[in-house]
Amino acid sequence: MYLNLRNKEKEVDHIILEERKHPFYVMDECARVFAGLRRGYPHFSENINEAKPIYNNEQFGAIRRGSTYDIERISSKDLL
């Protein structure tokens, strides 16, 4: 049982490492970037230096559900 758990943990760690290699950013329809959470809700900023990277679709979905604006994901090269 413990051997199975360790293998699963290693598999999850590998998935996380792969996701971290390809971050993306979130921008709303007012051209503001996702800068984290404020009081539990997505906060968007006009300051591009405050942009926080997102690593998976679950994070993007949570931001979409909490935002009142339309949002889209953009790559780091599109951000600059």
What digits encode the pLDDT tens for the residues 9-51? 888 888 878 878 888 999 999 999 999 999 989 999 999 999 9
**Does 1 have pLDDT greater than 60?**
no
Measured distance between the N- and C-terminal CA atoms of the chain, rounded to whole angstroms: 48
**Rounded Cα gap, residues 15 and 20, in angstroms:** 9
Burial label for 60, CB within 10 Å (0-12, 13-18, 19+), is middle
What is the reported pLDDT for 43?
95
User: Given pLDDT bands bounded at 50, 70 and 90, which one contains residue 63?
Assistant: very high
64, 71 Cβ separation under 8 angstroms = yes
What is the reported pLDDT for 10?
84
The pTM (predicted TM-score) of the whole model is 0.76
